[in-house]
């Protein structure tokens, strides 16, 4: 079963009129004691260039993914790794997977991107992708804080590693 099939089976169509009411919440991590979130920024883009930043604040997230993220954030804090997150680059975004007709896990508010400018998707022949490409700018303990909570790290995607991407399912 694909990630999209799994999400569709569990939560239904993310474009349904009642999807957000049933399956998402507006969450500001500072409200749950993650004070460092106040320092995270959202890039503002003009003509495909970052022209400035605004505070991250609250975002819409799948209710089950929120629990996973909250626990990952607690693990980051326990190891003082939360400072590795500089930018929040989106969670709920209704779109298709790049170069595909499949819905992105972002459509279910079940994935988030962090530090996108520093952690671009890796577009290289498979035999040229290095462990450093997969890891992006994250430390190994940082990634482990997420994967220990059952969150999929996009850097582990086989063909197109995506180290900015963290998702509640593998996809």
**Strand, coil or helix: 86:** coil
HSE (side-chain half, CA atoms, 13 Å) at 148: 13
**Protein fold of 3-167:** Muramoyl-pentapeptide Carboxypeptidase; domain 2 (3.30.1380)
d(CA 170, CA 86): 24
- Encode pLDDT of 1-34 as tens digits: 888 899 999 999 999 999 999 999 999 999 999 9
Output the pTM of the full model.
0.92
Domain ranges of the chain: 3-167
Query: What is the residue-wise DSSP string for 22-51?
Result: HHEEEE-GGGGT-GGGGG-EEEEEETTEEE
d(CA 70, CA 84): 16
């Amino acid at each position: 079963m694909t990630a999209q099939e799994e999400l569709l089976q569990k939560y239904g169509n993310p474009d349904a009129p009642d999807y957000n009411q049933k399956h998402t919440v507006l969450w500001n991590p500072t409200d749950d004691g993650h004070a460092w979130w106040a320092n995270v920024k959202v890039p503002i883009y003009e003509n495909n260039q970052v022209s400035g930043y605004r505070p991250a604040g609250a975002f819409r997230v799948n209710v089950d993914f929120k629990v996973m993220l909250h626990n990952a954030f607690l693990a980051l804090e326990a190891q003082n790794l939360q400072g590795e997150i500089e930018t929040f680059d989106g969670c709920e975004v209704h779109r298709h997977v790049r170069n595909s007709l499949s819905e992105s896990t972002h459509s279910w508010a079940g994935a988030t991107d962090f530090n996108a400018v520093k952690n671009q998707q890796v577009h290289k022949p498979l035999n040229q992708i290095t462990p450093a490409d997969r890891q992006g700018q994250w430390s190994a303990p940082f990634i482990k804080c997420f994967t220990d909570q059952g969150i999929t790290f996009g850097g582990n995607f086989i063909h197109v590693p995506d180290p900015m991407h963290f998702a509640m399912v593998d996809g």
